[in-house]
């Protein structure tokens, strides 16, 4: 299979999210989105033992019109939302939410993790959906590590978790509105793998840490975003160091995107409607029970 060319490589930038510092790999000043992927935030924080779960993490806030996703790498995240969902996802798991017509949710350290303290590391993604599905009923999908299908490279040095889509004959359990593949990759030093990716999928790779040789030549490192051209059907990876990465690939949605804060729609008027509906309580009420 012909390997894909690299379009660009960019370093994530530090941003302040209401006092919470994260590495933002998307958007960047030089690249707004990789359709349908809108945002990648990488957060790595330490909580002291005895932290108050009522005042830590991200409190109640609304979403409409897209898919917010959290990959949990360290710690435990307690998701609560105005649709009555409440679940704790531990390290290795994923929280996936179709926000649809509107939902209010929070993401905080679990009570047990807050009491014990420790490292909390997550990746948060925002993924766009077509206009026809922006106002569907919200749905929430918690996925623990042991529930996530996985495959290993021939040398058994690279592990790939298939969160969504189909890869290597394995299908991720979370349903989608448009074709995509989302992979969590853990590679030991010297591990090699070839990733076949549909040529019609826009594709990007983000490294949480480590270093990868891509297609036998280019080196990408810690907290770098690699965007590929749609000119081939596979990507070859070789780990120069122990590495964690995510690969996101999907069919682009050829529609206008209008976003404002936590809302992603197609028209300015739809953003104003979302703000009004939130203020009027039409996205529900989230009362957190601690």
| Percent of the chain scoring above 70 in pLDDT | 100
* pLDDT tier for residue 19 given thresholds of 50, 70 and 90: confident
Instruction: Note the pLDDT tens digit of each residue in 206-248.
Output: 999 999 999 999 999 999 999 999 999 999 999 999 999 999 9
Looking at every residue in the chain, the average pLDDT score rounds to 96
Asked if pLDDT for residue 124 goes beyond 80, the answer is: yes
Mean pLDDT of 151-177: 96
Tell me what pLDDT residue 1 has.
85
- What's the confidence (pLDDT) of residue 37? 98
Give 238-262 pLDDT, tens digit per residue.
999 999 999 999 999 999 999 999 9
Identify the band that residue 21 occupies on the pLDDT scale cut at 50, 70 and 90.
Answer: confident
**What pTM was estimated for this model as a whole?**
0.96
pLDDT at 18 over 80: no
Task: Show the 3-state SS of the chain.
Answer: CCECCEEEEEECEEEEECCEEEEEEECECCECCECCEEEEEEEEEEECCCCCCCCCCEEEEEEECEEEEEEEEECEEEEEECCCCEEEEECCCEEEEECCCCEEEEEEECHHHHHHCEEEEEEEEEEECCHHHCCCCCEEEEECHHHCCEEECCCCCEEEEEEECEECCEECCCCCCCCEEEEEEEECCCCEEEEECCCCCEEEEEEEECEEEECCCEEEECCEEEEECCCCCEEEEEECCCEEEEEEEECCCCCCCEEECCEEECCHHHHHHHHHHHHCCCCCCCCCCC
The two three-digit tokens of residue 112, written as one number: 């047990």
Confidence of residue 290 (pLDDT cuts 50, 70, 90): confident
| Domains with residue ranges and CATH for the chain | 6-250 (2.60.120.10)
Report yes or no: 62 and 102 within 8 Å, Cβ to Cβ: yes
Q: Which single residue is written with the structure tokens 């569907």?
A: 136
């Amino acid at each position: 299979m012909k390997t894909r060319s690299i379009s660009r490589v960019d370093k994530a930038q530090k941003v302040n999210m209401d006092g919470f510092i994260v590495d933002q790999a998307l958007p960047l000043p030089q690249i707004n989105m990789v359709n349908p992927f809108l945002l990648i935030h990488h957060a790595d924080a330490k909580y002291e033992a005895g932290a108050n779960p009522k005042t830590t993490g991200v409190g109640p806030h609304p979403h409409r019109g897209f898919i917010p996703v959290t990959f949990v790498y360290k710690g435990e995240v307690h998701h609560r939302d105005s649709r009555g969902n409440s679940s704790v996802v531990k390290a290795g798991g994923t929280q996936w939410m179709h926000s649809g017509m509107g939902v209010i949710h929070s993401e905080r350290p679990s009570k047990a993790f807050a009491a014990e303290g420790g490292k909390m590391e997550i990746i948060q993604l925002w993924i766009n959906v077509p206009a026809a599905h922006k106002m569907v009923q919200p749905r929430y999908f918690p996925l623990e590590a042991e529930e996530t299908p996985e495959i290993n490279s021939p040398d058994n040095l690279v592990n790939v978790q298939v969160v969504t889509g189909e890869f290597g004959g394995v299908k991720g359990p979370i349903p989608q509105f448009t074709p995509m593949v989302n992979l969590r990759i853990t590679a030991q030093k010297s591990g090699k793998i070839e990733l076949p990716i549909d040529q019609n999928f826009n594709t990007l790779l983000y490294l949480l840490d480590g270093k990868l040789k891509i297609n036998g030549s280019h080196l990408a490192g810690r907290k770098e975003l690699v965007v590929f051209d749609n000119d081939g059907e596979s990507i070859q990876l070789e780990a120069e160091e122990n590495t964690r990465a995510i690969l996101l690939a999907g069919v682009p949605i050829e529609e206008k995107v209008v976003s404002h804060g936590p809302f992603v729609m197609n028209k300015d008027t739809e953003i104003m409607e979302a703000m009004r509906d939130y203020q009027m309580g039409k996205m529900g009420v989230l009362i957190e029970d601690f």
